[in-house]
A and B are shown apart, each in its own frame.
Chain A
């Protein structure tokens, strides 16, 4: 007997194919559009063959736009999967990297590197260091993220209430931000400027080693997340059921925390705190596919995250103008209404978590 209905399986496949097409289209659009418009034919030629008659276009695409589009994809995948894992881990629809202060924790790690090591250690100075510098900042940001996550998890173990957990997350985030503020207060103006620019978020400027490091860490984080999808599914029923189904809850928690910290930490280190991606995309994906199965949700979160981050990046470039908006502003402007829409129209929070 056929238990999984054929129609839902088909519609799911159609949605996935549609998402892949959208991702490719937006990827090309993201590279085409910007302050300098480059025709589609040339873009395709540069991307696939690596040659062009105009060296300026070649430079713009290879050194600026292509890395930026790849970064957008990494951010979209990483943050949404880390948000998804947190929502399952905390069994809370309002959990997300920025909402529970994890991003702030990563920010603390970044601040520790940027603000302590003297005026020479701005992020650009670190970038000059190449591979070792980028590893330093990734490790520090991931540790900062893990620290906050562990604290929130510790408190969450005692408190089951969703809203209280969120308040705790916000408070822990606030404490972290305050520590950063104290640090800022005693820092040099040049260092401050660097740090504040970083908080606006940016997908640009991550090239060569940095891009390799970021890609490597994000891919490892995603693989860990995907390989723990069976455990995540079991966690949907709560800890006691998960344990009764043969799961070592402590180990699972640690793996999920490691993956979340790596993803949030590395992305925040390079791109700054990017809000709302982590909370909004898992909800959109869940309501789009109508499933809670992480084996489907994780790859689909990556697809939806890719599509939306590329879209945000296209908007932030303000095609046709010379202006560039900070990416954080765009994701918040788009993400917050999406969260409200999801809550109001689909009653999705309730259907997913109660």
Chain B
């Protein structure tokens, strides 16, 4: 695949003009690159400025300083019609045109290309049906927008952006209102589209684990507006990922790639070993009860999980005491006494 730079930002400052000379800078000296065929996820805690960055890159809001080059041309100098042929958007705002059919809405994506009355040519129609096929929305082409579920709606909005036939697609929290299966499907769809169509796709999201799995690159925005970019795995291993979301009360588990809730100070250490899938779920339960699972064998509390003919058995050891449990519920009930002992 030939990767080509679609969007570059150099020394970019984003924010709002609050007065004639005063600016409220959200983030500054940003240097960003976006190549074709890449799915990039913009992650960051609430209020870090993800939306401001998305709005600035999409041309809805002027940048305070620096330069954005979109497909060889300066973003600020592109005429609206030319910009619309290079960049398409999927926004979080809910569409209030429920009377439109899916096909009518996707057809609106051809607006930058059609003549004054918006009559569709054969080429337009082909592009529309292709984009509906690619997003699997063709089967409800005649349904109205208000008859669709949130997941279906979001796919239709993506189909509209595809029909706009741009090298870059920006999506602002496309998974926000969706349930888990729809979120996974949306990310998978975007990932495949980036590969198949060689488009550059940038999306902002709060789905950390999905982003880690699907994104080719991550843009991590810290709460102070600092932005770190890189391949997801690199960012996890060098600690940037953890740093971006640092907050009291939870920590990032590098082994599983998930954030876990626990209170560090009052926790008891337990050594846990055994069958890996059983260990995973046992660990979850223990963490919920404020225990910290360790790999240090010398600890006074030990749990060994084994699988006896598909029946899990938990063997709890504390000095000379040894006890067997058959459910996590029983195990947790007894573990409560350790907590109170302390």
Contacts and interface: CB of A to CB of B under 8 A. Distances in A.
Nearest to B111: A245
A158 interface: no
B111 A247 contact: yes
A246 B78 CA distance: 10
A354 B146 contact: yes
A237 interface: yes
B299 interface: no
B278 interface: no
B129 interface: yes
Interface string A239-272: 0110111111000000000000000000000000
B309 interface: no
Contact of A248 (B59, B80, B125): B80
Ranked 3 nearest A-B pairs via Cβ: A246-B84, A230-B118, A246-B112
17 contacts: A3-B103, A3-B129, A3-B141, A233-B108, A236-B96, A237-B95, A237-B105, A238-B96, A245-B112, A245-B164, A247-B111, A291-B99, A293-B104, A350-B146, A351-B146, A353-B96, A354-B98
A1 interface: yes
B213 interface: no
Interface in A1-17: 1, 3-5, 8
A292 B117 contact: no
Interface residues of A, number: 33
B100 to A, nearest CB: 5
Interface of B: 58-60, 80-85, 87-89, 91, 93-101, 103-105, 108-109, 111-112, 114, 116-118, 125, 128-129, 141-142, 144, 146, 164
A63 interface: no
A234 B95 CA distance: 12
| Chain B CB within 10 Å, residue with most, of A240, A286, A295 | A240
Nearest to B114: A230
Contact of B116 (A230, A238, A350, A351): A230
Contacts of A233: 108, 111, 118
Contacts of A247: 80, 111
Nearest to A293: B104
A54 to B, nearest CB: 47
Contacts of B112: 245-246
Interface centre among A91, A230, A248, A290 (most CB of B within 10 A): A230
Contacts of B104: 291-293
Contacts of A354: 94, 96, 98, 146
A82 interface: no
A90 to B, nearest CB: 11
A291 B142 CA distance: 11
Given A290-B99, A350-B98, A354-B94, A230 B129 contact: no
A118 to B, nearest CB: 47
A245 B109 contact: yes
Residue among B95, B99, B128, B146 with the highest chain A CB neighbour number at 10 A: B99
A352 B117 contact: no
Given A3-B125, A91-B96, A245 B108 contact: yes
B80 A246 contact: yes
A119 interface: no
A278 to B, nearest CB: 18
Contacts of A316: none
Contacts of B91: 238, 240-241
A295 B98 contact: no
A182 to B, nearest CB: 38
Contacts of A295: 117-118
A177 B101 CA distance: 41
A234 B80 CA distance: 14
A269 B59 CA distance: 42
Nearest to A227: B116
Contacts of B111: 230, 233-234, 245-247
A70 B211 CA distance: 63
Contact of B118 (A4, A229, A241): A229
Contacts of B144: 351
A246 B88 CA distance: 10
A350 to B, nearest CB: 7
Interface string A336-354: 0000000000000011111
A236 B146 CA distance: 14
